[in-house]
Amino acid sequence: MSKKPKPRSAPRRPAPAPLPTTTLWVSSQALDRQMLDYTAAEDRLWDGRLIAWDILGSLGHIEGLRASKLLTQGEYLRLRAGLRLALREVDAGRLTVSPEHEDVHTCVEEWLVQRVGKAGERVHTGRSRNDQVATDLRLYLKDRLLLLSAEALDLAESLLGFATKYQRVLWPGYTHTRRAMPSSAGLWAAAFAEGVLDVVEALPAIWTRVDRSPLGSAAGYGVPLPLKREAAARALGFGALEHNVALVQNSRGKLEALVLFWCVQLGHELAKLSTDIITFSADEFGFLILPADLATGSSIMPHKRNPDLFELTRGRAAALEGDLLTVFQVKSKLGSGYHRDFQLIKEPVMRGVDRLEGMLSMLAVAVPRLGVDPAVGRHILSGGPLATDEVMRRVEGGSAFRSAYREVAAAIKEGDWWREPATAEIIARRRSTGGLGNLGLATIRARLRACRRWSDREQKRFDAAMDRLAGRGGARGRA
Ligand code: ARG
């Protein structure tokens, strides 16, 4: 008798998360558990990153309420003490967004009401979660932008260090992936340093857009209360207000896209740099050297030394572009006002920012450890890639360019090679601005310092506002 096959048990579904018991809103009906879980879902995870900013945002908001005379001094002091304690609880890991809360705003308000009682019920006066989350996100973005800018500048500094050290090491420059003309380790690295600076220098324009306070716009239409929006904005260290209350919601997604576009520009710079490193350190090229401790191995081929770190940088730059695209897709078809779709923008923004952060800090460490092999670079350079140098030498001797070009082309055809210039001569003949004999590294360094001054100034201003709100000296709001 053949054995009956055992019925395969259906794959177990993971236990559903507990019902969010706390929502800030009330419903006349019992709520569908699946709906609540579906709408909050993984958003709590991303909200977890906002908790300190949410509390700091509330600390700014109560400054606005006080200035608007919407709180008594006693209520204000109780709220302030409660919120400051909440921040310390977050730092100690005792206050976190958990599955009982619909979102971070619910979590903080519920905690506050438990701590400070009736006064806690006043914290949401003149505010909606719509302007609250917009505020949280802007504080988060300001913090991350300053970090990313500092890391991008560190990378630019690494590249400049590499350029300085190896500025006299020649290797070929390529067009169409074919050897073209002399380039150098210095020219190559300094171009990336300038490329990174170009992007960092665009930051102040984005910053002024992010650096506007949404508070007081409430659900998107303001509130019929005498709110002094400026007071909350000032307390939070924002440079300005997001003026039109309806614009706050219209800007959601637009701002994030602006930030991610900036990130993508840096990502592309890093991807190009990575591709070059992968190529130039391959055996077939070999004039750039990947140190053994930065290379991975193969489980089957004992000789392999792989440039995974650069491949993953290139891959992450592509994924970062995907993050930007997600934001565009989610935001672009919505009418004005708040839409719950906006919630889905948090994930690509936070993922994208994380990706870039990791890429920048890894490359800033990796670049100074790259080596060069000057003999290999010089060897590959010989012959064809020096043909243009010979044309120009003849031009300087009085020949018309086109006839010098034809003469050298004919000589190449005949195999009648000319004397090759020495490395020093190749460099010395390139004195025009920005050429490999005149990299202008000091000017690039000055640009870098100017960017650092800007970032340091904004960082100080931001930290000072957060520290004042938190009632602490020195420590910063956590991401
Ligand atoms: N989780 C929401 C978001 O990120 C918070 C705002 C909720 N607002 C609302 N009206 N349901 O957009």
Question: In a 10 Å sphere around its CB, with 0-12 CB exposed, 13-18 middle and 19+ buried, how is residue 227 labelled?
Answer: buried
pTM over 0.85: yes
Judge if 188 and 290 occupy the same domain: yes
- Mean pLDDT, residues 260-278: 98
Give the pLDDT confidence score for residue 383 in this predicted structure: 87
User: 9 CA distance to ligand 1 centroid (A)?
Assistant: 39
Residue 200 lies in a domain: yes
* Ligand 1 and 133: CB distance under 6 A: yes
* Ligand 1 and 135: CB distance under 6 A: no
DSSP string covering 9-72? PPPPPPPPPPP--B-SS--SSPPPHHHHHHHHTTHHHHHHTTHHHHHHHHHHHHHHHHHTT-S-
Is a pLDDT exceeding 50 seen at residue 479?
no
Among 70, 96, 125, the domain-final residue is 125
Residue 294 lies in a domain: yes
List the residue whose alpha carbon is closest to atom 12 of ligand 1. 343
Among 125, 142, 171, the domain-final residue is 125
* Ligand 1 and 328: CB distance under 6 A: no
Is a pLDDT exceeding 60 seen at residue 253?
yes
Question: Model confidence over 109-167: pLDDT tens digits?
Answer: 999 999 999 999 999 999 999 999 999 999 999 999 999 999 999 999 999 999 999 99
Give the pLDDT confidence score for residue 1 in this predicted structure: 47
Judge if 189 and 241 occupy the same domain: yes
Give the pLDDT confidence score for residue 393 in this predicted structure: 96
Judge if 84 and 205 occupy the same domain: no
Judge if 269 and 172 occupy the same domain: yes
Q: How far apart are the C-alpha atoms of 361 and 152, rounded to whole Å? A: 8
* Ligand 1 and 132: CB distance under 6 A: no
Judge if 46 and 169 occupy the same domain: no
- Mean pLDDT, residues 409-437: 94
Is a pLDDT exceeding 80 seen at residue 366?
yes
- Mean pLDDT, residues 67-91: 98
Give the pLDDT confidence score for residue 18 in this predicted structure: 52
Instruction: Kindly give, in sequence order, each residue whose CB lies less than 8 Å from that of residue 286, ignoring residues fewer than 6 positions away.
Output: 280, 373, 376
* Ligand 1 and 83: CB distance under 6 A: no
Judge if 239 and 323 occupy the same domain: yes
Residue 7 lies in a domain: no
Range of the domain at 398: 383-419
List the residue whose alpha carbon is closest to atom 4 of ligand 1. 343
Q: How far apart are the C-alpha atoms of 298 and 294, rounded to whole Å? A: 14
Count up the domains in the chain and report the number: 3
Judge if 118 and 199 occupy the same domain: no
Judge if 42 and 181 occupy the same domain: no
Give the pLDDT confidence score for residue 467 in this predicted structure: 98
- Tokens (6 digits) for 425: 């001569």
Is a pLDDT exceeding 80 seen at residue 20?
no
Q: How far is CA 292 from the centre of its chain?
A: 29
Give the pLDDT confidence score for residue 268 in this predicted structure: 98
Instruction: Kindly give, in sequence order, each residue whose CB lies less than 8 Å from that of residue 408, ignoring residues fewer than 6 positions away.
Output: 387, 390, 391, 394, 418
Give the pLDDT confidence score for residue 203 in this predicted structure: 98
Judge if 401 and 316 occupy the same domain: no
Residue 342 lies in a domain: yes
Give the pLDDT confidence score for residue 37 in this predicted structure: 87
Residue 424 lies in a domain: no
- The CA–CA distances, whole Å, from 204 to 236, 248, 261 equal 18, 20, 14
Residue 143 lies in a domain: yes
CA nearest 360: which of 180, 115, 126, 147? 147
**Residue 181 pairs with which residues in a beta bridge?**
173
Q: Which residue has the higher pLDDT, 414 or 20?
A: 414
Judge if 137 and 164 occupy the same domain: yes
Atom of ligand 1 nearest to the CA of 338: 10
- Predicted confidence band at 5 (pLDDT cuts at 50, 70, 90)? low
Q: To test ligand 1's pocket by mutation, which of 127, 129, 347 has the most ligand atoms within 8 angstroms of CB?
A: 129
Residue 415 lies in a domain: yes
27-31, 316-320, 380-384, 415-419: least confidently modelled range:
27-31
Q: To test ligand 1's pocket by mutation, which of 43, 124, 130 has the most ligand atoms within 8 angstroms of CB?
A: 130
- Predicted confidence band at 476 (pLDDT cuts at 50, 70, 90)? very low
User: 343 CA distance to ligand 1 centroid (A)?
Assistant: 6
Judge if 69 and 89 occupy the same domain: yes
* Ligand 1 and 43: CB distance under 6 A: yes
Question: Model confidence over 287-322: pLDDT tens digits?
Answer: 999 999 999 999 999 999 999 999 999 999 999 999
CATH number at 153 reads 1.20.200.10
Q: Please report how many Cα atoms fall inside a 13 Å half-sphere around the Cα of residue 441, on the Cβ side.
A: 19
Residue 295 lies in a domain: yes
CATH number at 50 reads 1.10.275.10
Judge if 162 and 109 occupy the same domain: no
- Tokens (6 digits) for 454: 């800007």
* Ligand 1 and 131: CB distance under 6 A: no
Among 125, 146, 176, the domain-final residue is 125
